Amino acid sequence: MSHPPRRRAARLLVPLIAASLLAAACGGGESTPAPGAASGGASAPAEPVKLTVALFSDFHYGPLYEEFKKTHPNVEITERRAQFNDHHNNLVTQVATGAGAADVVAVEGGFIATFREVADKFHNLGDYGLSSRQSEYLDWKWQLGLSKDGSQLIGLGTDVGGLAMCYRPDLFKEAGLPTNRDEVSALWPTWEQYVETGKKFVAAGGKAAFTDGPGEHFRAMVEQAPVGFYDTSDKVVVGSNPDVRKAWDISVSMIQNKLSGKLVAFTPEWTTGIAKGTFATMVCPAWKTGVIKDQKPGEGTWDIAAVPGGGGNQGGTHLLAPKQGKHPKEAAELINFLTSKESQLTLWKDASALPSLPALYTDPAVAEFVNPYFGDAPIGKIFTDAAKALKPQYTGPKSGDVNVAMGNGLGRIELQGQDPEEAWKQAVADSEKIK
C-alpha cells in the first residue's frame, strides 16, 4: 500500500534527515519457515503481548489482525496512523532518538532506501526465518528490503504500485472526449499527448480541473525513466538527468495550461474531489483504486485507462520491525502473516493492493479480476501488465526527500507564481544539498 508516499510546498516539506539517521546508526506465503522461525501457527507464549502497527493510511488490515489472533490469542494489536509525510518524518525521528517507534512500521517505496542506510536500527527478519520467503518475491522488491550490504533482511514487501490512469467518464463526456477506456488510452500514449488532451478538456469550459495536481505525474514520469534522481554511485543527478528535466517541463506545462486542480494527494480537499468530481484524471497505481472506492463516489463514477509512457510502478510498501520493539518474534510473525500469499490475495480483493508475489499474477483471482466499481474494468490485466512491464530503477538513499524537494519547486510555481526556470534551479540546488 502506498501513498505518495508521494505535494504542496507547505504540507510536503520533509526535513533533510541523513545527518540525524547516520549519527544514530553508529545498527506466509507458501514457504515453510525453519523450525522456530516466524509462522502463522507459531506457539504463543503465555504472557500477553501488545504490538503496535504504524501506517500512513488505511491498509485494510483489520480483518487480517483478527485472523492472526486466532493462532496468537495472547497478542493484542493496536494500529496508529499518520499522514504520509508525518509518518515517515516521525519514523526518522524515532529511529534517530531511539524512542517512540511502533513494533511494526510501514515504509513506502520512496523512503525505503533511507532506512536501509540504518539497518542496524531494525530487527533482522532473517533471524526469524523470513529469508526463506525470497523465492516468492519479485527480485527487485526483495532487494529493496535488504540492508545496503545485503546481509540483513529489514523488511518484507506488501504490494507494488503497477501504474494506470484513473478518469471520470462523465466529465470526459461533458468535454466531448471519448469515454471508452480503450479510446481514452489511445488519447495519450505519451505524456505530451496527455497534456494536449487536457487542453481540449479545459477548452470545453467545464468546472472541473483536468487533473488533481502535477506532483504525482512528475514522480510517475521520473520513475518510468531508466535513471531517476540518483546514479548507482548514490550521486544525486537531478540537474544532469535529461529525463528528470523532461518530466519537470511537462509538469510545468500542466500548470501553465491550467490543467491542475492544485490538490495534494490525501488531503481532505483531494479526497473530497474524488467523491465530488472536482478533477477528471489522476495517476493511479493499483492501491489508489482502493482509496477511490473508500471515498464512495458511486459505482462506475471512475474508470481506468492506460498510463502514458507505457507502464511503471509507483509506491508499494515494506513492513519493518524497529529494534525498539520488545517483541521481535511476534512482530516478525505478524509481518510474515500480513505479507503471506493468502493475505496479499485478500488485500488485492479488498483494497486493490497489487501483490508483490509474481506467482499470484497468473492466479485467476488476480489476472482475471474485473472490478464492477470501475465500470467492469479488467484491473487484474491492467495492473499486472504494468507491473510486468516495469524495468526496476535504482533508488538512492534519499529518493523520497529529493522527490519532495522537486515537488516543492512545482508547488512554488503553481501556488506562488515563481518563475519556472528559477524554481528549477532552486529545486535542483535543494536536491543536491540532500545527503
pTM equals: 0.78
Residue 371 is placed in which grid cell? 472490478
pLDDT score of 102: 98
Residue 110: CB atoms within 10 A of its CB come to 27
CATH of domain 165-312+393-432: 3.40.190.10
Mark the ranges of the chain whose per-residue pLDDT is less than 70: 1-46
pLDDT score of 279: 98
Planar angle of CA 296, 297, 303, nearest 5 degrees: 115
Cα–Cα dist 59/243, whole Å: 32
pLDDT score of 306: 92
Give counts: helices (H), strands (E), the chain.
Answer: 19, 10
**Measured on CA atoms in the order 359, 364, 365, 368, is the torsion positive or negative?**
positive
For 374, phi and psi rounded to 5 degrees? -115, 50
pLDDT score of 46: 59
Q: Could you give the 3-state DSSP secondary structure of residue 60?
A: coil
**Helix crossing, 268-276 with 286-294: angle to 10°?**
80
Domain with CATH 3.40.190.10 in the chain: 9-160+315-378, 165-312+393-432
pLDDT score of 16: 33
Give how far Cα 18 sits from Cα of 96, 406, 434, Å.
10, 18, 8
User: How many residues in the chain?
Assistant: 435
Residue 392 is placed in which grid cell? 526496476
Pair 195, 254: CB distance under 8 Å: yes
pLDDT score of 269: 94
Give how far Cα 70 sits from Cα of 74, 97, 337, Å.
9, 35, 12
pLDDT score of 183: 98
pLDDT score of 357: 95
Classified by CATH at the fold level, domain 9-160+315-378 comes out as: D-Maltodextrin-Binding Protein; domain 2 (3.40.190)
